[in-house]
Amino acid sequence: MKNANWTTFRVVLWSILFISLLIHALAIAYRWWDFDPRLSCRHLTRWDDWISCMHGPSHLYVFYFELAVGIWFAAGTAAVLARMLGPYISAIVPGGVVAIWLWARIHYWNEHVAPYSIIHYRFGIPDPGIIFYFAAWTGFLAAYIVAPVGAAWLLGLHARTQYRLGRARVKLDAQAADVF
């Protein structure tokens, strides 16, 4: 690729990472804003009850925050592995994230879309509204989960390629200096 193409590629990947970070921040902020302060977990004395309370629907921002931390940890791991290892070995992390995401979407389809379609006259045939809802959430979750890991992995591969090209140029320059 030419230098201008690499620059465009890098800008697109950094934009994807920034948009993903913005989506994470907005999702956490919305759930925090939606929090009802009357629901408190302070009265619980046992750790398991307290953790269950914090991961319940009233404290959904905690779950979103934990998920975001895990996703960005996976993105950092994918970037480091892509920088240090070959592309086929380092593809394990983004491939695993995509596999888990696809499995979760298929499971959601089988458990929540197909059985609970229009029960009155066509059992098993999903309603178009449910399909639209499923497609919208699939896109949102792709931006929330898959995009940061994929973009970080591609940035790591780009850094590896640029490093190797720089070393090749230095080696060629050293060989050219030896000739003269």
3-class secondary structure for 81-99? HHHHCCHHHHCHHHHHHHH
pTM of the entire structure?
0.68
pLDDT band at 60 (very low <50, low <70, confident <90, very high): confident
Tally of structural domains, the chain: 1
Q: Enumerate residues 6+ apart whose C-beta is below 8 A from 151.
A: 13, 14, 16, 17, 20, 75
Burial 153-174 (b: 16+ CB within 10 A, else e): bbbbbbbbeeeeeeeeeeeeee
Residue, of 108 and 60, whose pLDDT is higher: 108
pLDDT band with cut points at 50, 70 and 90 for residue 61: confident
Predicted confidence (pLDDT) at residue 67 exceeds the cutoff of 70: yes
Contact at 8 Å (CB) between 61 and 83?
Answer: no
Q: How far apart are CA 100 and CA 67, in angstroms?
A: 13
- Domain hosting 84: range is 3-179
Identify residue 106 by its one-letter amino acid code: I
| Phi, psi torsion values for 90, nearest 5 degrees | -75, -15
Quickly state the pLDDT bin for 140 (edges 50, 70, 90).
confident
pLDDT, residue 103, reads 92
Kindly state the DSSP code that residue 146 receives in the 8-state scheme: I
Backbone angles phi, psi at 135, to 5 degrees: -65, -40
User: What is the Cα–Cα distance from 7 to 154, expressed in whole angstroms?
Assistant: 13
Residue 47 has pLDDT above 60, yes or no: yes
CB atoms within 10 A of CB 129: 9
What's the mean per-residue pLDDT of the chain? 76
Query: Ramachandran region of residue 124, left (φ > 0), alpha (ψ -120 to 50) or beta?
Result: left
pLDDT grade for 99, boundaries at 50, 70 and 90 = very high
Q: What is the pLDDT of residue 39?
A: 62
% of the chain residues with pLDDT over 70: 66
DSSP state at residue 21:
H
Question: Has residue 126 got a pLDDT over 60?
Answer: yes
